[in-house]
Structure 1
Amino acid sequence: MLEDSVIFVENLSYTRRRHRVLYDLNFTLAPGATALLGHNGAGKSTLFSLLATALKPTQGSIGLQVGSQRVDSRRQGKQYRKHIVLVPQQYRPVPGLSVEQHIQYVSWLASNPSSKANRLAQEAIEATSLQGLVDRKTTELSGGETQRLAIAGALATGARTLLLDEPTAGLDPSHKDAINQLIQTVGQERVVLVATHDLYQLDKIYQHVLALKRGHLTFSGQTYDFLAPFSGSPQQQAPAAFNYFIEQ
């Protein structure tokens, strides 16, 4: 059983070339799946880059707590990065490697010793149901299989926080359902933040929602509270909530 981890974001702002991209964000990410909603240009990618330490905040702080240990992303960056991994939308696996070799390689890149890397890779293969594809070359995978490989690699690092950027974009319904089920499963023990435009089954996949509108956080809380003010079924509530918190 993994130790619980929690992400703390406090007064986070980011300015690029005198243009403010994010404004004073405050939120907490606990274990579970959280949907990050917002239009293109709302600041989702910038937020992911800040959480992954690819960018430095203009103001504010990002911290990670694992058990009783609090780690600051700036002052203890190397230690912080051990616990968080970003999976980009356009994931490009290493060509020439098999699925199993690729996952082992990603785990090794995360500074896991060989024995631990192999163990984490096997656990990740099982968690993502890739057992039947371990010998297939990464370049021979479908889009849905590549996304499962990407998540498997993230799990194999041993990180407790996963940032997934549009993991179901462009997938057919069956592969989309498989990825959504995987998000639910992975979120049982880890913090999983998913940037998505897909409102289908929002209430079933995600426990929490963050809504961004032009760099401002307009909602942070449980999915139930995001949907509850609006009438109808969850499939009717989700677009209404999106319209209220993001469109208006």
Structure 2
Amino acid sequence: MKLEIKNVTKTYGNIKALNNFSMEFQAGIYGILGSNGAGKSTLINLITDNVSRDSGVESGKIQYNEEDILKLGRKFRRIVGYMPQQQGFYDEFSAKAFLQYMASIKEIPRKIANKQIDELLEIVNLTKFAHNKVGGFSGGMKQRVLLAQALLGDPKIIILDEPTAGLDPKERITIRNYIAELSKDKIILFATHVVSDIECIADQVLFVKQGEIVAKGTPGELIRSMHDKVAEISCTLDQITELQAHYKVGNVKQRSDGLVLRIVGDNLPTEFEKVNHDINLEDVYLYYFE
């Protein structure tokens, strides 16, 4: 099982949303990190065929098991589960009716679909709201319905665009753990700008900026690449604004002896103390995006 993106370029007018983008995905979880406008959603929309590719050979290829996904057509779409960042609902539908509707679009036999729907509603903690109208759901509840519909049909490729937006901390952990369990025999693309969503579950992390991959690797590899690029200094609340004006600032932490400001960069000032034992993926994110 292999999904390949080969030298894909996508333009909107004079803007290159993706620029000669290449990546090979096999079974596992791939965290795709980037700020808004980095190209994450464009990549997802090309894989799901929600936007057309640029014309010409130079636009690149997207292949599943060596075959172009556009030629595979419905065969490919049947093995893809997609959770968009936002989706309009029929407000009069109940959660269960919406999932039944999506199952029929995916051509899942009714008996199989009903069993899966009951299981998925339990997983996303919506069983007791199964017959409630989606129009009355909170944003977090709607996100959970969207996740459930992406998992209908036991897809081989699962594409999640900001899947934990609007979820409370407990729900985020539950959903992350469930996604991790699915990854043994599936390709999961998890696009987000929230580092904590993927730092503990991703097999590989891609940092995407201006339509290009600026860094990729396992979380451990990326963290090790930040050796001698992270430093801290004790400060007061009044000093934080001035320090932020001069440095790529990471976290400001409250410790027992006062505030500590963390910065990232290649040339760290001597008055800061280098940190090499407590680096995390958020430091990597700040290094590339701040």
TM range (shorter): 0.7 to 0.9
Deviation digits for residues 95-145 of structure 1, max 9, x if unmatched? 222222221211111122323322332343344343333222222333322
Partner of 2:44: 48
Partner of 1:244: 287
Partner of 1:60: 60
2:277 to 217, 225, 232: 232
Of 49-58 and 140-149, the range deviating more from structure 2: 140-149
Deviation digits for residues 14-35 of structure 1, max 9, x if unmatched? 1222432211111122222221
What is the correspondence of 1:1-248 to structure 2 with a 5 Å cutoff? 5-58=1-54, 59-65=59-65, 70-200=66-196, 202-230=198-226, 231-233=276-278, 236-247=279-290
Deviation at 1:162, TM superposition (A): 1.7
Deviation digits for residues 194-228 of structure 1, max 9, x if unmatched? 22111126431222111111111112332222222
Partner of 2:254: none
Q: 2:121, 2:148 within 8 Å by CA — same for their partners in 1?
A: yes
If asked which structure has higher relative contact order (CA below 8 Å, sep 6+), I would say 1
Letter of the 1:239 partner, please give it. Answer: E
Q: Partner of 1:205: helix, strand, or coil?
A: coil
Of 30-39 and 116-125, the range deviating more from structure 2: 116-125
Q: Partner of 1:206: helix, strand, or coil?
A: coil
Q: 1:147, 1:179 within 8 Å by CA — same for their partners in 2?
A: no
Q: 1:13, 1:25 within 8 Å by CA — same for their partners in 2?
A: yes
- With over 3 angstroms needed to count, the CA separation of the structure-2 counterparts of 1:187 and 1:128, relative to structure 1, is farther
TM-score, normalised with respect to structure 2? 0.73
Q: Percent identity?
A: 27
Runs of 4+ in 1 over 4 A off after TM superposition: none
Deviation at 1:186, TM superposition (A): 3.1
Q: Partner of 1:53: helix, strand, or coil?
A: coil
Q: Distance in 2 between matches of 1:53 and 1:201?
A: 26
- With over 3 angstroms needed to count, the CA separation of the structure-2 counterparts of 1:129 and 1:106, relative to structure 1, is same
Q: Distance in 1 between matches of 2:167 and 2:108?
A: 32
Deviation at 1:49, TM superposition (A): 0.8
Deviation at 1:237, TM superposition (A): 2.0
Deviation at 1:165, TM superposition (A): 1.3
Deviation at 1:146, TM superposition (A): 1.9
Q: Distance in 2 between matches of 1:146 and 1:216?
A: 31
Letter of the 1:232 partner, please give it. Answer: H
Q: 2:176, 2:197 within 8 Å by CA — same for their partners in 1?
A: no
Partner of 2:234: none
- With over 3 angstroms needed to count, the CA separation of the structure-2 counterparts of 1:32 and 1:94, relative to structure 1, is farther
TM-score, normalised with respect to structure 1? 0.85
Q: Which runs of 5+ in 2 are unaligned?
A: 227-275
- Aligned positions, number: 237
Q: Distance in 1 between matches of 2:123 and 2:25?
A: 22
Q: Which runs of 5+ in 1 are unaligned?
A: none
Larger radius of gyration: 2
